[in-house]
Chain A
């Protein structure tokens, strides 16, 4: 158990809908990262938050947004969903934003858009 909690574990929805994925980082970790993993693909970096502030953006679509709350949990919002958004979405946390920090991953949310 990495200590990173993601909910829900599975989510099935229809095209055009909006969903929210939730992540609770490990106790004491200030950084939260979101990654997308499509079928047979590697992990694509979406966005990074540190202590409530956005620190870096990757290949995140404009239809997607995220935030980190004062209690350090984070939410990833996906709107106007398309079939191609079906993927595993992982959250990871680390103690702080530094170049030698290790990321610890949650078990992911499997999103299926039908």
Chain B
């Protein structure tokens, strides 16, 4: 099935560092969502974006809906150990209610 391309695939960073990851598609999307999945758990919604160019924050997390509507970015500032997990982007195209998920970015934070 179709998936969105996320990069990087994995990140190993030190506590306190900032993190950036992105999600790209060959198709235009009208909704972008970012989820975090902890081991053995279901994905939890972090941020939802509905408009091209939109920039939305949730605590130390900031996400942007790309101007081309074919990409989205997630930044985490001042990372902490509990940020560890897999981050998934998800997008929804016009006239469909199927949410397509990215391949995931696995984040590891070292103290």
Q: A102-B33, A103-B45 are in contact. Are A97 and B97 (CB under 8 A)?
A: yes
Q: Which residue of B lies closest to A98 (CB)?
A: B97
Give the number of residues in A that approach B within 8 Å (Cβ atoms). 30
Q: Which residue of B lies closest to A105 (CB)?
A: B42
Measured between beta carbons, the chain A residues less than 8 angstroms from B50 are 100
Within 8 Å by CB of A99, from B44, B45, B94, lies B94
B25 within 8 A of A: no
Measured between beta carbons, the chain A residues less than 8 angstroms from B100 are 45
Q: A56-B97, A103-B99 are in contact. Are A44 and B45 (CB under 8 A)?
A: no
Q: A59-B1, A99-B92 are in contact. Are A45 and B41 (CB under 8 A)?
A: no
Closest beta carbon of chain A to B64's beta carbon, Å: 17
Measured between beta carbons, the chain B residues less than 8 angstroms from A104 are 45
Within 8 Å by CB of A90, from B3, B42, B45, B95, lies B42
Summarize B's interface: helix, strand, loop or mixed. Answer: loop
Give the number of residues in B that approach A within 8 Å (Cβ atoms). 28
A48 within 8 A of B: yes
Task: For the complex, give the distance between the alpha carbons of A47 and B50 in Å.
Answer: 24
Proximity string of chain B (16-44) to chain A, C-beta cutoff 8 Å, 1 when within and 0 when not? 00000000000000110101000011111
Within 8 Å by CB of B96, from A4, A42, A99, lies A99
